[in-house]
Chain A
Amino acid sequence: MSAAPGASPPPPTAARDSGVEQASRFEAVIGLEVHVELNTATKMFCGCAIDFGGAPNVRTCPVCLGQPGSLPMINAKAVESAIRLGLALGCDIAPSSQFHRKNYFYPDMPKNYQISQYDVPICLGGELQVATAEGFRHVGITRVHMEEDTGKSLHVGTSGRIHGAEYSLVDYNRAGIPLLEVVSEPDLRSAEQARAYLAELRAIVLALGISDAKLEEGSMRCDANVSLRPVGHSVFGTRVEVKNMNSLRSLGRAIDYEVARQTDRLSSGQPVVQETRHWNEDSGTTSTLRAKEEVFDYRYFSDPDLVPVEPDSDWVQRLRAELVELPAARRNRYTAEHGLSPGTAALLQTSGLADRFDEAVAAGAVPADAAKWLTNEVAAWCNEHLIDSAGVPLSGAHLAELTRFVSDGTLSTKLAREVLEAVLAGEGSPGEVVAARGLAQISDTQALGAIVDTAIAQNPDAAQRVRDGNAKAIGALVGAVMRATKGQANPGLVNQLLQARLHQAGER
């Protein structure tokens, strides 16, 4: 039997009947190419600012517009970002790497070539550890290379695409923004693994602070190479590249769809065609974007306008020494040192609130309490207010204060939520909010004793039922006390006082 599924003869009819059986005969082989838009102050090869919004073509200059005679200069900060990501992924940093020109005509590319790296990229051969349902998986990183982004075309006309447009407009504000392309080995085997890989890569990029890495906004973009092969085979099947997934969810959906589509084809004896396919979010399907025959010959050659990138080894050593704590190490620290569950540790990480957690713990918060408040209340508040978690207006010290109020009984959980809202709304520290709103929980036995006595006196029936052994009846008395204190009574203490008095009375 031929090793390549595409060339396999059709499977016997009997084996084609059960879909479940069919699916299990093939293994998906997936590799991802991820583009990360860097958040450097200026573009890759010129001094234009990197920013978003504003009028078209305002952040351009002769260099990023490809004006005749203009020349590129390499942005050292972008090189630094590339090296830092390479170090974080365990790559070798090339002592000398080159920029090449990738030649093809497209109106949103000012020079009709893209300056990119080709056979001598800056980072080679790393690895990423990804947590999956089956445990940790090591995903090889083939390379990380630097390149420049293109402009954006706006096709005016009914189709919205270049074909059939009445006219097109081009905005070069994005042209020349530095990108890192991270290419994985084909080590992923499922949509879930691919999602986990992308999420982990994103967490690393965010930890390094080199990009805002927003899939939805395109500052992080992902293409997937998907092929199938019979389980147990080592030779790869025919590969299809899928583009246009702009969320973790759509990456997962697109891969699931593509695996199912290829399984169907192979199961019915049709070959998978090597091509580039476009993921359509609305229909939930992929469709042909470019056939193999339409693949460009990019005519790569070393860019004669630029010199090799040769990072000083001291510089690389310094960047290595200054590398921030990476997501995996941080999660390990949370589980090992702070006793958080792996799930909570991961949630803290993905919520983007891990820095707040560390600050709160440093300010004396019980780790489990701080984690609970962050992953529940604070994360929800960020979602609701569409605020990036990095910018949440809550200091670690405030969170520590809040959790202390709960644990020492100053605030009930319910009141603490109200205080948190107020703190997030900018009303001050938890202590200031409690004082200003008079929210401190009444935990004073003497003060509460009188209110409890009144409640018993005003609800003799309920009191009697409790004395008669109906434990649930105490609820009415607790409710009366809470009403009388506008909810500020410590519920545990109220209960304790009621029990003591009713028990005492019963004995009498």
Chain B
Amino acid sequence: MHPLVAADAAGLQRLLHAREASATEITRAHLDRIAETDQHVSAFIRTLDQSALDHAGDIDRRLSDGDDVGALAGLPLALKDILCMKGVETTCGSRMLQHYRPPYDATVVRRLREADAIVVGKANMDEFAMGSSCENSAFFPTRNPWDLQRVPGGSSGGSVAAVAANDVPLGIGTDTGGSVRQPAALCGVVGVKPTYGLVSRFGLIAFASSLDQVGPIARGVRDAALLLEVIAGHDPRDATSIPTEVPDLHTTLEAGVEGLRVGVVREFMGEGMSDGVRSVVTAAIDRLGALGAEVVDVSLPHAGYGVSAYYLIAPSECSSNLSRYDGVRYGLRVDGETTERMMASTREAGFGPEVKRRIMIGTYALSAGYYDAYYAQAQRVRTLIIRDYEAAYADCDVLVSPTSPTTAFKLGERAADPLAMYLSDVYTIPSNLAGAPALSLPVGLDDGGLPVGLQLMAPVLGEPVLFRAARALERELAIDSTPRGRGSLAEVAA
């Protein structure tokens, strides 16, 4: 592996600013890496070689002229294909938007560009972010670099697999019910779901508006913090954006966990979890204790209803959010005799089965006569879960649990069983419902050699303590995040 693609973001920045590597060299190395690996991983729907090299050349010129460069200068980044990029096809993993070119940039995309991050490609995803395996992409499935016969998780599987495959040091995903954290766990990288409202949703193609949140992906906690500090911050174009200062993550990042109270969520340590996940997660929690954290048992009594509530709230919002895809203004159009026929045929052809299923569930849940029993009831459950967290944080600084009940499963294994797929997100969903931040940290491998993620959770705007705890454990465990072993990318790409 080329040393430039083996390096993390912080290392690349040192090389760049010491003039030991140019942005162009860094970018070329990563584009070469993608050319080598992506035939096996299929992380990208589209790479942006030319614009990436142009941007890198511009950064190099500014560096040699002594001009300012941004906080992410020269760092290649995989962008989930759900964030609008002006003039660049943004598909959302769907036939519906296969040739859609947004007329504007998402706020996150603008901030990344202003920070001089180099977007090298648009990453694959489950269609409209609905899925936990990346198999719901309308185009092709993405594969897990640790075992190419297995899924990378989803829906941000493309961005996560790209980071795990050393295609890029940084990735951007979105997390509605676990879509950053679950694939991060399955691919052995760090993935963060920030506080709802910390990162602007403007230009993020909506799945479930009250749950969607953009999050950073990296091979280490420091790189994830670096990226989050760039994309976070109030946006006057998003009414749900929190008008607050960007949290300072780096000052306390290395402060350790001594004295922190770490709550182990009882409801997330019960049945349904694989033995491998249990033993790796338990060992990681023990190490937190050994580092000086006070590990206590806590309960989120209503968290068990999270999946049920989520699968009413998210589909309800999606049924409305996705009604704009009708063939009238943009995206796919299938002609019809009448306007209604055209709209129906377009939606029939443009949406895949999982998207249709959720639109149907949501339409039903919002219908007159069912609203109170389903949508309103789910919102009440959401309130109870928020109160559970508040009670838990009265006694704890952070909470921990497994990120996913299992390690990566085989392609096709759960495709026919939506409920089994939905249960992949049983531990991640409650944080989305509560609007609170959570992070998945790789903490080891199971007996099959597949990565296991520990989920760390913090109260709303508790990112500093979240990153601090994750960094302490990361330093202690010193995990090697390079995919290896039988069936892995290492067998087919150096």
Instruction: Give me the interface of A with B, judged by CB distance under 8 Å.
Output: 62, 65-74, 101, 103, 105, 107, 110-113, 162-163, 168, 170, 297, 299-301, 304-307
Inter-subunit contact A69/B202 (CB<8 Å):
yes
Nearest CB of B to A9, in Å: 32
Bound CA span A494–B486, Å: 123
Inter-subunit contact B326/A70 (CB<8 Å):
no
Nearest CB of B to A68, in Å: 4
Bound CA span A101–B371, Å: 14
Within 8 A of A (CB), among B277-322: 316-317, 319-320
Inter-subunit contact B326/A305 (CB<8 Å):
no
Query: Which A residues lie within 8 Å of B363 (CB)?
Result: 299
Question: Which of B102-110, B246-254, B443-451 forms part of the interface with chain A?
Answer: B102-110
Known A113-B320, A301-B316; judge A65-B240 contact (CB<8 A): no
Inter-subunit contact A304/B323 (CB<8 Å):
no
Bound CA span A103–B340, Å: 15
Q: Does any Cβ of A come within 8 Å of B83's Cβ?
A: yes
Query: Which A residues lie within 8 Å of B103 (CB)?
Result: 62, 67
Inter-subunit contact A71/B201 (CB<8 Å):
yes
Within 8 A of A (CB), among B61-118: 83-84, 90, 92, 97, 100, 102-104, 106
Bound CA span A107–B324, Å: 9
CB within 8 Å: A-B pair count: 101
Inter-subunit contact B236/A73 (CB<8 Å):
yes
Q: Which B residue sits closest to A164, measured CB to CB?
A: B338
Bound CA span A131–B437, Å: 60
Query: Which B residues lie within 8 Å of A67 (CB)?
Result: 84, 102-104, 329-330
Question: Which of B41-49, B177-185, B203-211, B424-432 forms part of the interface with chain A?
Answer: B203-211
Q: Does any Cβ of A come within 8 Å of B238's Cβ?
A: yes
Inter-subunit contact B366/A111 (CB<8 Å):
no
Known contacts A103-B319, A299-B366, A304-B317; 5 additional CB pairs below 8 A are: A68-B90, A69-B202, A299-B320, A304-B208, A307-B240
Query: Which A residues lie within 8 Å of B329 (CB)?
Result: 65-67, 110
Inter-subunit contact B92/A170 (CB<8 Å):
no
Query: Which A residues lie within 8 Å of B208 (CB)?
Result: 304
Bound CA span A103–B208, Å: 15
Bound CA span A311–B92, Å: 37
Inter-subunit contact B102/A71 (CB<8 Å):
no
Q: Does any Cβ of A come within 8 Å of B339's Cβ?
A: yes
Bound CA span A408–B290, Å: 105
Interface of chain A: mostly helix, strand, loop or mixed: loop
Inter-subunit contact B239/A111 (CB<8 Å):
no
Q: Does any Cβ of A come within 8 Å of B343's Cβ?
A: yes
Inter-subunit contact B237/A73 (CB<8 Å):
yes
Q: Which B residue sits closest to A298, measured CB to CB?
A: B368
Bound CA span A300–B97, Å: 27
Inter-subunit contact B238/A71 (CB<8 Å):
yes
Residues 321-336 of B, flagged 1 when their CB comes within 8 A of A and 0 if not, give: 0011010111000000
Interface of chain B: mostly helix, strand, loop or mixed: loop
Known A62-B104, A68-B100; judge A73-B239 contact (CB<8 A): yes
A-B CB contact pairs (8 Å), 25 listed:
A62-B102, A62-B104, A65-B329, A68-B84, A68-B92, A68-B100, A68-B102, A68-B206, A68-B330, A69-B201, A70-B203, A72-B239, A74-B239, A103-B319, A105-B343, A107-B326, A112-B323, A112-B324, A113-B320, A299-B363, A300-B366, A304-B209, A304-B210, A305-B209, A306-B240
Inter-subunit contact B204/A69 (CB<8 Å):
yes
Nearest CB of A to B342, in Å: 9
Nearest CB of A to B311, in Å: 16
Q: Which A residue sits closest to B376, measured CB to CB?
A: A301
Bound CA span A304–B196, Å: 12
Bound CA span A365–B207, Å: 66
Inter-subunit contact A297/B367 (CB<8 Å):
yes
Query: Which A residues lie within 8 Å of B239 (CB)?
Result: 71-74, 305-307
Inter-subunit contact B339/A69 (CB<8 Å):
no
Q: Does any Cβ of A come within 8 Å of B375's Cβ?
A: yes
Query: Which A residues lie within 8 Å of B240 (CB)?
Result: 304-307
Query: Which B residues lie within 8 Å of A301 (CB)?
Result: 316-317, 320, 366, 371, 375
Query: Which B residues lie within 8 Å of A68 (CB)?
Result: 84, 90, 92, 97, 100, 102, 205-206, 324, 330
Query: Which B residues lie within 8 Å of A162 (CB)?
Result: 339
Within 8 A of A (CB), among B366-419: 366-368, 371, 375
Bound CA span A110–B205, Å: 15
Query: Which B residues lie within 8 Å of A170 (CB)?
Result: 328
Known A107-B328, A299-B367; judge A69-B203 contact (CB<8 A): yes
Bound CA span A186–B209, Å: 38
Query: Which A residues lie within 8 Å of B201 (CB)?
Result: 69, 71
Query: Which A residues lie within 8 Å of B339 (CB)?
Result: 107, 162, 168
Query: Which B residues lie within 8 Å of A66 (CB)?
Result: 324, 329
Inter-subunit contact B323/A69 (CB<8 Å):
no
Bound CA span A109–B328, Å: 10
Known A62-B103, A68-B205, A162-B339; judge A105-B236 contact (CB<8 A): no
Known A103-B366, A168-B339, A304-B317; judge A69-B106 contact (CB<8 A): yes
Bound CA span A71–B241, Å: 11
Nearest CB of B to A363, in Å: 47
Bound CA span A299–B323, Å: 12
Q: Which B residue sits closest to A62, measured CB to CB?
A: B104
Inter-subunit contact A69/B328 (CB<8 Å):
no
Bound CA span A72–B321, Å: 13
Query: Which B residues lie within 8 Å of A62 (CB)?
Result: 102-104
Nearest CB of A to B365, in Å: 9
Bound CA span A66–B330, Å: 10
Bound CA span A304–B207, Å: 11
Query: Which A residues lie within 8 Å of B209 (CB)?
Result: 304-305
Q: Which A residue sits closest to B90, measured CB to CB?
A: A68
Nearest CB of A to B366, in Å: 4
Inter-subunit contact A113/B375 (CB<8 Å):
no
Bound CA span A73–B239, Å: 6
Query: Which B residues lie within 8 Å of A69 (CB)?
Result: 83-84, 102, 106, 201-206
Nearest CB of A to B116, in Å: 23
Inter-subunit contact B326/A112 (CB<8 Å):
yes
Residues 192-221 of B, flagged 1 when their CB comes within 8 A of A and 0 if not, give: 000000000111111011100000000000
**B338 contact from A163, A297, A305, Cβ within 8 A:** A163
Inter-subunit contact B92/A113 (CB<8 Å):
no
Bound CA span A141–B319, Å: 34
Query: Which B residues lie within 8 Å of A105 (CB)?
Result: 323, 326, 340, 343
Bound CA span A101–B323, Å: 12
Query: Which A residues lie within 8 Å of B316 (CB)?
Result: 301
Residue of B201, B317, B339 with highest tally of chain A CB at under 10 A: B339
Known A299-B363, A299-B366, A301-B366; judge A71-B237 contact (CB<8 A): yes
Residue of A68, A72, A170, A304 with highest tally of chain B CB at under 10 A: A68
Nearest CB of B to A106, in Å: 9
Bound CA span A168–B83, Å: 31
Bound CA span A307–B209, Å: 12
Inter-subunit contact A70/B202 (CB<8 Å):
yes
Nearest CB of A to B108, in Å: 10
Query: Which 5 A-B pairs have CB atoms at the shortest separation, nearest pair first?
Result: A112-B323, A304-B210, A299-B366, A304-B209, A69-B203
Query: Which B residues lie within 8 Å of A110 (CB)?
Result: 324, 329
Residues 222-259 of B, flagged 1 when their CB comes within 8 A of A and 0 if not, give: 00000000000000111110000000000000000000
Nearest CB of A to B61, in Å: 32
Residue of B317, B328, B340 with highest tally of chain A CB at under 10 A: B328
Query: Which A residues lie within 8 Å of B92 (CB)?
Result: 68
Bound CA span A294–B375, Å: 24
Q: Which B residue sits closest to A155, measured CB to CB?
A: B339
Query: Which A residues lie within 8 Å of B83 (CB)?
Result: 69
Query: Which A residues lie within 8 Å of B368 (CB)?
Result: 297, 299
Inter-subunit contact B320/A101 (CB<8 Å):
yes
Q: Which B residue sits closest to A46, measured CB to CB?
A: B237
Query: Which A residues lie within 8 Å of B319 (CB)?
Result: 103, 299
Inter-subunit contact B320/A71 (CB<8 Å):
no
Bound CA span A162–B106, Å: 35
Bound CA span A112–B363, Å: 13
